[in-house]
Amino acid sequence: ESFVYWMRMEDLRIEDNTALHKASEKAQDFGIPLIVLFVISPGDYKIHDRSNKKIDFILRNLRDLKTKFHELNIPIHIASYDRRLQIPRRVITEILPSLGAKHLFVNIEYEVDELRRDIATVKLGRESGIDVRCLHDRLVVPPGKIKSQQGKPMSVFSPWQRAWAKLLDQQPHYLNMSPSPKANDKSIKSNDKFNKLFEEDIPDHVEGFECPESEKLKEVWPEGTDKAKELLDRFLHTKPRQTQFQFTSPLNTGAEESQKESRVAQYQTGRNLVDGDNSSRLSPYLAAGVISARMVLNEAKKLKGGKLESGRDTGVGMWVQEVSWRDFYNHVMATWPRVSMGRPFLEKFADVQWETNEEHLQAWKDGRTGYPIVDAAMRACKARGWMENRVRMVSASFLVKSLMLDWRLGEKYFMESFIDGDLAANNGGWQWTASTGTDPQPFFRIFNTLTQSEKCDPTGAYIRYWVPELKNLKGKAVHDPFHQMPKNEFKKLGYPEPIVDHKKSRERALFRYKNVGEKE
């Protein structure tokens, strides 16, 4: 007999893992072993636009976890099924019986397909005499807990955020962390069936998701909860180093410390500057659950004198607010499931008239739009699978409002490219940008790409790093070489001319949004 914890690609950690802890607790009570199951499904990854960088990050973390589980005499069984809809049946009627398990523990994932999978698993479990426990773990406050005074779900971030922080201060148990699992008795290894599981290898790639950049990414995004904790500590407690981190290890401690305050202390301004290394860089770890949001908030809370409820007046206050966006967008997705089915939150914007221009879409993806800040961000995305928040907004806004291309094309491309790809956050970010989301800002918020560029990359270092054609340019020319340089000088750069005119495209976007549903 055994108890099984089915680990998902969003709970890749041992510490503070609710389902793992509950499974371990029960297994100890009954005196029978705990087994960890992980299901790889290329078919599922394909349909959900997973990036090869994310799959590689997951496999690297699984290898790290395997070592740690083995230290606790807990085997990890890897199953692989291409056909994702078959997974519940395979798990309930084949894998669990083969492990002699009558109890399955999982952490809930709130995306529609994942919820359907879990409902199917619970139903099949009932038919087969298997008890399936689905637990809340991903968020600090489970979806549905925070409601308006009239008992309705809230869709506007600011009041929701205040209620979230207040709840956490009044009911701090939400931040309690689950104890790590206890070790299995070492006699598990004398059982042939279980002993074989200890010999299973974690594959080094998933077919169709091979990642040639794996070694480089390992340096930039090292795997494991210990590394995530180091990143958290670097962000909250240490002074920034004198390095210009763009595509090197963030944990490189060789460089000189600057005289500045810690990153979090400067976060209010730093978070919008991409020519430095100012944010936590924890998103791949939070998205894959390598570190929990409770773990990071408990540390932030210490810096806030034990209270989370407060405004934007301090760097750490602002950061806590940013972390709460993660809960918020998951709450939106769980409450209005249409957002994870390709629908706008505001249905009235379902019929905006989009352009269909393959060349423009490709130029955006390749970082060849002639707008240096967009091109730098898109090239950074391709190379390291990650962008700073400000340039995610700038490049997303450029696709939607300047090129007038459907935001869902951008949403898909980001998911296919990011190491931190996460449906709720990515969809929330795109719908915010496309003015189709929960944000009360009207549709006429249209970023001026060049002004944004000067503000977020004031030294131009970000553009010069990612767009080598412009590496020798200074001043305004680095932000807008086409208009700031003599034509013959510009031609020598080998850099594209702007593919759209900002002013004209702004007018087009305003017209299309205003006349939604009508043809020009």
Q: For residue 418, report the phi and psi dihedrals to the nearest 5 degrees.
A: -80, 145
Q: Residue 5: which of 118, 123, 98, 134 has the closest Cα?
A: 134
Q: What angle do CA 376, 379, 380 make, to 5 degrees?
A: 85
Judge contact between 281 and 124, C-beta under 8 A.
no
Residue 465 DSSP symbol: H
* Cα distance between residue 380 and residue 314, in whole Å: 29
The residue among 21 and 48 lying less far from ligand FAD, judged by its C-beta, is: 48
Residue 429 interacts with ligand FAD (CB under 6 A): yes or no: yes
> What SS3 state is found at 53?
helix
Shortest distance in whole angstroms from residue 484 CB to ligand FAD:
28
Shortest distance in whole angstroms from residue 518 CB to ligand FAD:
27
The residue among 114 and 388 lying less far from ligand FAD, judged by its C-beta, is: 388
Judge contact between 27 and 33, C-beta under 8 A.
yes
Residue 402 interacts with ligand FAD (CB under 6 A): yes or no: no
Shortest distance in whole angstroms from residue 433 CB to ligand FAD:
6
Q: What angle do CA 231, 419, 138 make, to 5 degrees?
A: 70
How far is C-alpha 365 from the chain's CA centre?
Answer: 19
Q: Residue 383: which of 468, 499, 309, 273 has the closest Cα?
A: 468
Contact track, ligand FAD, 179-218, x by CB under 6 A = ----------------------------------------
The residue among 301 and 326 lying less far from ligand FAD, judged by its C-beta, is: 326
Residue 425 interacts with ligand FAD (CB under 6 A): yes or no: yes
Residue 22 interacts with ligand FAD (CB under 6 A): yes or no: no
Shortest distance in whole angstroms from residue 505 CB to ligand FAD:
18
Residue 162 marked ligand-binding: no
Shortest distance in whole angstroms from residue 516 CB to ligand FAD:
21
Radius of gyration of the chain (CA): 24
Residue 354 interacts with ligand FAD (CB under 6 A): yes or no: no
Contact track, ligand FAD, 318-337, x by CB under 6 A = ----xx-xx--x--------
Residue 428 interacts with ligand FAD (CB under 6 A): yes or no: yes
* H helical segments located in 135-203: 157-170, 192-198
Residue 323 marked ligand-binding: yes
* Cα distance between residue 485 and residue 241, in whole Å: 34
Sheet holding 101-107, edge to edge: 76-80, 34-40, 2-7, 101-107, 131-135
Q: Which residue has the tokens 């590394």?
A: 227
Contact track, ligand FAD, 405-424, x by CB under 6 A = ---------x---x-xxx--
Residue 322 marked ligand-binding: yes
Residue 281 interacts with ligand FAD (CB under 6 A): yes or no: yes
With CB under 6 A, what is the number of residues at the site for ligand FAD?
A: 29
Residue 280 marked ligand-binding: yes
Q: For residue 5, report the phi and psi dihedrals to the nearest 5 degrees.
A: -105, 120
Tokens of 53: 């960088």
Contact track, ligand FAD, 249-278, x by CB under 6 A = ----------------------x-------
Dihedral (C-alpha) 215, 216, 219, 222: value to the nearest 10 degrees?
-60
Contact track, ligand FAD, 372-391, x by CB under 6 A = ----------------xx--
Residues sharing a CB contact under 8 Å with residue 307, sequence separation 6 or more, in sequence order: 169, 301
Residue 426 interacts with ligand FAD (CB under 6 A): yes or no: yes
* H helical segments located in 238-281: 267-270
Residue 245 interacts with ligand FAD (CB under 6 A): yes or no: no
Closest residue to ligand FAD, Cβ-based?
429
Contacting residues toward ligand FAD, per CB under 6 A? 271, 279-283, 286-287, 322-323, 325-326, 329, 388-389, 392-393, 396, 414, 418, 420-422, 425-426, 428-430, 433
Q: What residues form the annotated binding site for FAD?
A: 267, 279-283, 319, 322-329, 420-422
